[in-house]
Structure 1
Amino acid sequence: MYVSRKLKRVLQQYYPSIQYRSPTDLLFQTQIRTRFSANTMCQLFLQIYKDCGLKGASSHSGRRTFITKLANTGINVRLLAELAGHQHISTTQRYIDVNDTQLAQAVELI
């Protein structure tokens, strides 16, 4: 798993605040100390978005933003697919948002 240096620092700050159990225990767990299901994680993110006042955010908003921002820096779509866990780049391509500014910048490259 690849984690940015910034996220790694945040996680290192977070880790001491949780009750130490064992290095193999889950970093994020439910109240009964089990893994979150995919549905529970979606619901959790929807609640976080709501609490932050973000309207229109969904469980895929973070993934879409992550992939789009990397694509905008010129990262190859095959690398993006690997980071996103997609088997096919066509799936990844559907996550990449395109806007008028990007289109205008693209034609200026010629």
Structure 2
Amino acid sequence: MKQAKVISANEMKRLLAVVETGKHSARNRIAIMLSYYAGLRVGEIAALKNSDVFDKDFNVKDQIQLKAAYTKGNKARVVFVSDKLKREIRAFAKSVSNLVADRPFLVTQKNTPFSPNTLCQLFGKLYSDAGIDGASSHSGRRSFITKLAHSGISPKVIMTLAGHQHLTTTQRYIDVNDEMMREAVEVI
């Protein structure tokens, strides 16, 4: 099975430029950012409620507690929210007219919760509109894991952040290209 494309910095810029010109740009941008900066799966993003992301005063939480029902492995896990992602969430919150704790974090244009399938289709359309071949709803997650690995983060930490039970699963997500291998041998 072909894996989702890992998104380069230039492709991400192009994707965000396309998102900014389309309808529902704030919503679409935060969906991409949750995937790219936190490694969330589309099903996890679709399941989020405002109360998962914001505290009672609607400040962005430092950690998102993913309930077992949200995750692929049906195991609860903690997602750490980086400063970059916090800024993105705050910007998104400003675009929402009425934040209610028990409401879905992201809603469709009909103001209904996203299903994982509908969100997956949205990601596909955004990547296609940006002309990024081979990208899918899993590209942000693969990019997140690959960037961590290439930054020297411990494989055990990456595995835990990704919510994987086995290191071999995490290793399959990590992309390697010629430029990376060239840089690696120059370290010696």
TM bracket, shorter-chain basis: 0.7 to 0.9
Q: Give me the whole-angstrom Cα distance separating, in 2, the residues matched to 1:106 and 1:21.
A: 47
SS at match of 2:103: coil
Cα RMSD after superposing both structures: 1.8
Q: Deviations over 1:32-53 (max 9, x none)?
A: 422x222222111001112222
Pick the aligned partner of 2:141 from 44, 52, 63.
63
> If you compute each CA radius of gyration, which structure gives the higher value, 1 or 2?
1
How far, CA to CA, are the matches of 1:27 and 1:9 in structure 2?
16
Q: In the alignment, is residue 75 of structure 1 matched against residue 153 of structure 2?
A: yes
- Provide the rounded CA distance (Å) in 1 between the counterparts of 2:94 and 2:187: 49
More moved, 54-63 vs 85-94: 54-63
The equivalent residue for 1:101 is 179
Aligned length: 109
Alignment of 1:1-110 (within 5 A): 1-30=79-108, 31-34=110-113, 36-110=114-188
Alpha-carbon distance in structure 2 between the residues aligned to 1:38 and 1:75: 29
TM-score normalised over the length of structure 1: 0.84
The gaps in structure 2 that reach 5 residues or longer are 1-78
> Which protein, 1 or 2, shows the higher relative CO under an 8 Å CA cutoff with sep ≥ 6?
2
What is the SS of the residue equivalent to 1:98? coil
Q: Residues 4-25 of structure 1: CA distance to partner in whole angstroms, max 9, x if unpaired?
A: 2112112111112112141232
Q: Distance in 1 between matches of 2:111 and 2:90?
A: 23
Unaligned runs of 5+ in 1: none
> How many Å separate the matches in 2 of 1:96 and 1:56?
16
* Structure 1 residue identity aligned to 2:139: S
Identity fraction in percent: 51
Q: How far does residue 87 in structure 1 lie from its aligned partner after superposition? A: 1.3
Q: Which structure: greater strand fraction?
A: 2
Per-residue deviation, residues 44-91 of structure 1 (Å, max 9, x unmatched): 100111222222211211111111111101011111111112111111
Q: Secondary structure at the match of 2:98?
A: coil
Q: Name which of structure 1's ranges 69-78 and 99-108 shifts more when overlaid on structure 2.
A: 99-108
